[in-house]
Structure 1
Amino acid sequence: MRITSIKCLFLIAATGALGTLTAAPAAAQGTVRRHMVYFRDKAGTPYSVAQPQAFLSARSVARRTRQGIAVLPRDLPVNPAYVTQVRGVVGKPQVHYTSRWFNAAVVSCDSATLARITSLAAVRGASTLNRSYRAPAAPTAPVQVAPLAARSTVASRAQYGPAYRQNEQIGALEMHDAGYRGEGMQVAVFDAGFPGVDKIPALQALFQDKRLLGTRNFVDGGTSVYQRSSHGTSCLSTMGANQAGFYIGSAPKASFYLCLTEDTNSEHPTEEANWLAAAEYADSAGVDVISSSLGYTTFDAPSKSYTYADMNGRTALSTRAATVAARVGMLVVNAAGNEGDDPWHYISAPADADSIVSVGAVDSLGFHAPFSSYGPTADGRVKPTLSAMGRASAVLGANGSAFRGSGTSYACPILAGMIAGFWQANPTLTAQQVIAALRNTASQATAPDAKLGYGIPSFAKAYNALHPGAPLVPKEEPVEQVERLGVFPNPTGDGQLTLALPADLRGQPLRVRVLDARGAVVAQQELPAAAGSRAPLKLGRLAKGVYVCEVSAGTALQTVKFVQQ
C-alpha cells in the first residue's frame, strides 16, 4: 500500500451488489492467504439487466441513464449459487466479498482448500492477493499535530483560513461565489483510515446535515472507519470541511461515502482488490465522484511488483477497476503518485487508467512539485491529466487542527471537490464531458507535458467556455480588504511565497528583506512594481524557524512574520 502524501506525511448496499465483508478468516490448516477466485460465467443468475433495481440503487441507474450508459452483463452480481459452492468446500474458506465487474470472489483459505475451489466446474482460475495473513492492527490513537503557527492578515482570506490559496488556484472560490458548493453531489473517498472525522468540529456539518451517507471497512470488515491512518481524515478535510473563519474545503456541501481500503501494515495486491470492491460499492450506491489518494507500484516480497511497462492502462488490478468505474459513469479522480524524485519516477496505478483524472501536484505559485510523479503512461498517453496544489497544502489532522502537508494525496481531493461542484453547475454533462471541459481550458491545454499534464484547471474558464452567453463575472478584490502586508502559504516549506500587498505598496518597485529571529538579514531582493494585490516571492530554501519579511516601496514600509517548516 502506498498512500500518496509525500514520504508518508500524513448506506445503500444493494442486494447482491457486493458480498458482505467479514472479519478475519477462521483458522485453517496451512498458511491462510487471500485469493481472487474467478468464475467461468454468470449462467443461471437470478439477476437480469432488465431489472437493475435488484442490485443497483435508483440513483445508480439514474446516473447511467442520464449519461446514456446501458446496464450490461458485467454489472450483474456473481451467481449466488457459485458463491455457495465455494463456501461449501472442505477447509472452511472465508468469502470476504464478490466482484460483479470481474465475476469473482475474494476468498481466504490455505493452498489445499484453494486447490479444491479451483477444481469446481464453475471456477476458471484464481490468483493470490497476499503472501501472508496478518491480523488487523489495533486502532491507532489520533496523531496530534501542531496548530497552524501563523495566519495571513488579509481579511478576504479569513473565511477559508489556510485553505484559501489551494481553493483560489483552481477557481473554487468563484465556484462557491456562484452558488456551487457540491450540494446534491456524492463523493466516495478511498483511503487508509478516517480517525477523528466523527469528532472534528470542521466536519460536524456532515453529520448535522446527514451528508455522511455511508461507511465501509474493506480491510477489517464491517462499517467502522474512524480508525487506522489519519491520512484519509486529512484528504476528506480538503473537500468536506466547513468551518467559516477556520477552514473551508473545496466541496463543503457535498455528501460523502468513506471507504477504508488500505492496510498500512503491508503492501500486497489485496489492497487493489479492496479498491475494486469499494468502487463497486460506490457504483451501486449511485456515487458521482471517486476521490482516491492511493497508488500501487511495488509490493512486499514475494508478491510480484509492477514495472513501468505495466502502467499501460490495462494491467494493474486497480487500474482495470478504475477503468470500469469510469465506464459506468462515475468520475474517478486519483493521485498521480509521489515518485517524481525517486527511482520509479513515473505515475503509479491506478493513475494510468484511461478516462479518469490523474492529479499531479504544484506549489502555491503553480510550479511543479519535484516529488509529483511524471507521465506519460507506458503506452504514451498524457498523464497526469490535471494538477492542483499539493505542496504545502493546508489539511486537518485527526485532532482537528490545521497543518501543511505535501503530496499528490492532497492535490487529488482538493481538485475532486472542485470537480464535484463543476458537475453540479453543469448537470447535463457526462463524466467524460466534465473531464474534457476542465482539460480543454486548463493552463497547459494547448501544450500538455509529463509534469503537469494539461495543467491547472479553472472553474471559471471552463464554465465560461460552456456558457459564453452568460459567463461568470470575476469579482475584483477590494483594495480595502488588504489593509496590512500578508504572506502565504504560512507556514511555508520551500521559500516560495506570495505577498498580499496593501495599497501603499503597489505601483512602485518593491524592496524585500528577510530577517531571522536574531535580526540578521538572510535574504534580500527587488521586485518589479505590482499593480494588483499580489506579488510572487521566491526566497530559496531557508533553515527552519520564524522570520520577518520586510517590504518597502518609496517611504512605505510594512513587515509580516512567517514560519519556515
Structure 2
Amino acid sequence: MKKNFTLLLLFLVIGKGFSQEDAWIYLIDKPNVAASITNPISILSQKAIERKQNHNIAIDERDVPVNETYISDLKLQTGITVMAKSKWFNAIHVRGTEEDINALANLNYVYSIDFANQGLNEASRNASNLNKWEVENETIAFTYGDTQNQVEMINADNLHIADFTGEGITIAVMDAGFPNVNTMSAFQRLRDNSDLLNGYDFVDRTSDVYAFTGNNHGTKVLSTMAAFVQDQYVGTAPDASYYLFRTEDSGSENPVEESYWVEAAERADSLGVDMINTSLGYTDFDNSNYDYTPADMNGQVTYITKGASIAAEKGILVVVSAGNSGGTTWETVGAPADSPNVLSIGAVNADGDYVSFSSRGSAAQIGYQKPDVVARGGQAYVIDEFDSIVQNNGTSFSGPIMCGGIASLWQAIPDALPTEVMDFVRESASQFSTPDDFLGYGIPDLDLARSNALSLDNSQIETFRFYPNPVSTQLNIEMPLIANQLEVSVYNQLGQEVMNQLITEYSSFINVSDLASGIYVIKLSSANNSKAYKFIKSSN
C-alpha cells in the first residue's frame, strides 16, 4: 500500500508539468476564397444568402470555411486535440501541453497562437500578432502623415473612419513596372492580408512582375492606393486587393503597348476584377507614322481607348489618368482617358488649384466632359522602390489616389453599378453644375457621394426580395405592397440586356430557363428609383 501511494504521488508530480492547456490557433489563409464568394451557395444556405442580400451585407472571407487540410494535419500533431473551429476567426481551438501547443508555431500555415491562459501568451506569441479582422479594426483610426492632404481633399478619410477601406474590391493596376513590391515594407500590410494577388508582365511574358525593368512608375502608383507606413503614410484603399500587370515598355513607345494593355484588361476581366487603374497614356510614338492627333482623342479612334470602353461595358470601373500634356501644344487628354466610358482624372495642387501640366478637355470630346474629376497630382506623396516617401508631379498619381478613394466608396455602396458609382462621384464634385476643361466637374467629396447614394428614396423597392438564388428556371420576386408594378431588366456579364419585362402583384416572377449558366445583374425599377443585385443562373 505504501508503495502504491509513492507511485501515485510521483505520477502527480510528473503530471503537473504536462497539464493540459487550451489555445486558439489562427491560420494564415483559406482555400478557394474567391471561388467560394463567387458561388456562395457552396458555402451558405439559400436563406443565409437571402438574408445578407436583404440587409446589404457582403459575403466575404469570413463566410468561407476553415481549411480542412489544416485541421486534419493539426489532429496528427503530437499531444494535440482539436476541440472546435471558427470560420469567422479562421481559427482552431486546440488542447494540449504548453510545449506541444507552442510547437505548432513551426507549422507554415499557423499565423499566431493565443492561449486561453493569458499568462502564457507573453512568451508564446509576438505582441504584434493579430488576425486579419483585428488588423482591420485597428487601422480605422489612421494617422495619415504625409498623405493627410491628398486623402482629406477627396474626403476619403471619413470613409476610412466608417470602416470603408476598399475591403472586398479588387483592382487591376496596369503600368510600367512594379519593382520590389513583393519585398518592400510599405506593402507588408498588403501582403500580410493576402491582398497582393500577383500579376503578369505582358511585355517580357513572365510572371515575375516584381523585377526591375528600368522603371519604378508602377510601384509609386500602387503606393498611393495600397501602401501603409505606420503614422507616416496611408493609401486611399489600403484593404483593397490588387493584381499588377506590366503593359508599358519604358524603353520605347510603340502601339504594341496598347495591345498589351488590352490583353491585360481581358485578363483582368477573366479574373473578375472590379476596377482597373491605369496611369498610362498614348499620343505619339518613336515612329512618327504611328502618331495620333489631338482630334483623334474623341473616344472612337485608338485601340486602347476602344479596349477600355469594352472593359467598361463588361462591368469594370476604369479609372485613367488624364495625362500631363496641359502645358504642351497637345494640351488635351490622351488615350485611353478620352473614352466617355471611363473616369478620367486630372490634377490639382495641395490647395486644390489646377496645375498647368494636367491635360484638359477639348472640342474633340463631343457631348461629354474630360477630365471627369480631379485629385492631388501636384507634389503628391508617393513611395519609391527603395521604401522612401518622396513627392512627384503627375496625373499618374491623382488617378490612383482617386481610384483608391472610389474603391473605398464602392465598398460602402456595394449594390451600385459601375456607371452609378461614376455618377455619384461626379455629382459630389465641387463644380458639378459648372464643369470646365481644366477641372472637369471638380474635386469630389466621396463621403458626400456615399451619403447621396444611401439617401436615395428607395421606398417603393427597398422591401422586395427575390428567390431562389441560384435559380434554374423561375425567379420569384416579392413586391412591397405600395408598388403596383416594377420593370425588371436582366443584364449579362457583358453588360448586355438579355431580358426586360414588367411584373405586377398578379405576375411576380420571371422565367430564366433560357439563360445560360452564369452571373447576371437584375435591375428593378419603379416610377422614381431603381436598384440592382446579382443573381446566379444555374444549369436546368
Choose from 198, 204, 209 the match for 2:188: 204
Aligned partner of 2:250 in structure 1 is 264
Question: Distance between the aligned counterparts of 1:157 and 1:396, measured in 2?
Answer: 21
Shift of residue 57 of structure 1?
Answer: 7.7
Aligned partner of 1:255 in structure 2 is 241
Aligned partner of 1:444 in structure 2 is 431
Question: Distance between the aligned counterparts of 1:432 and 1:317, measured in 2?
Answer: 22
Match of 2:290, SS state, is coil
Shift of residue 304 of structure 1?
Answer: 1.3
- Unaligned 5+ segments in structure 1 are 1-55, 67-155, 471-565
Match of 1:358, SS state, is strand
Aligned partner of 1:283 in structure 2 is 269
Question: Distance between the aligned counterparts of 1:254 and 1:376, measured in 2?
Answer: 34
Aligned partner of 2:150 in structure 1 is 166
Match of 2:277, SS state, is strand
Is 1:432 aligned to residue 427 of structure 2?
no
Can you list the C-alpha shifts for 1:220-268, whole angstroms capped at 9, x where unaligned? Answer: 0111111221110000000001222121100001100000000011101
Contact 2:249/2:257, CA 8 A, preserved across alignment: yes
Choose from 456, 460, 467 the match for 2:443: 456
Pairing of 1:493-512 with structure 2 (within 5 A): none
Match of 2:329, SS state, is coil
Match of 1:383, SS state, is coil
Q: Higher relative contact order by CA 8 Å / sep ≥ 6: 1 or 2?
A: 1
Aligned partner of 2:508 in structure 1 is none
Can you list the C-alpha shifts for 1:84-136, whole angstroms capped at 9, x where unaligned? Answer: xxxxxxxxxxxxxxxxxxxxxxxxxxxxxxxxxxxxxxxxxxxxxxxxxxxxx
Amino acid at match of 1:407: G
Is 1:359 aligned to residue 361 of structure 2?
no
Question: Distance between the aligned counterparts of 1:401 and 1:370, measured in 2?
Answer: 27
Question: Distance between the aligned counterparts of 1:340 and 1:299, measured in 2?
Answer: 18
Pairing of 1:182-201 with structure 2 (within 5 A): 182-201=166-185
Amino acid at match of 1:406: N
Aligned partner of 1:527 in structure 2 is none
Shift of residue 467 of structure 1?
Answer: 2.5
Pairing of 1:93-492 with structure 2 (within 5 A): 159-226=143-210, 227-228=212-213, 229-376=215-362, 378-380=364-366, 381-468=368-455
Shift of residue 376 of structure 1?
Answer: 2.9
Can you list the C-alpha shifts for 1:3-56, whole angstroms capped at 9, x where unaligned? Answer: xxxxxxxxxxxxxxxxxxxxxxxxxxxxxxxxxxxxxxxxxxxxxxxxxxxxx9
Question: Distance between the aligned counterparts of 1:343 and 1:57, measured in 2?
Answer: 49
Contact 2:409/2:447, CA 8 A, preserved across alignment: no
Match of 1:294, SS state, is coil
Relative to the length of structure 1, the TM-score reads 0.55
Shift of residue 448 of structure 1?
Answer: 0.7
Match of 2:270, SS state, is helix
Shift of residue 214 of structure 1?
Answer: 2.8
Contact 2:428/2:446, CA 8 A, preserved across alignment: no
Larger-Rg structure: 2
Contact 2:187/2:228, CA 8 A, preserved across alignment: yes
Contact 1:360/1:373, CA 8 A, preserved across alignment: yes
Structure 1 residues 178, 372: CA separation in 2 closer, same or farther (over 3 Å shift)?
A: same
Q: Percent identity?
A: 42
Structure 1 residues 468, 376: CA separation in 2 closer, same or farther (over 3 Å shift)?
A: same
Contact 2:322/2:346, CA 8 A, preserved across alignment: yes
Amino acid at match of 1:431: P
Question: Distance between the aligned counterparts of 1:59 and 1:259, measured in 2?
Answer: 24
Q: What is the root-mean-square deviation of aligned Cα atoms in Å?
A: 2.2
Shift of residue 460 of structure 1?
Answer: 1.6
Contact 1:196/1:398, CA 8 A, preserved across alignment: yes
Q: How many residues align?
A: 323
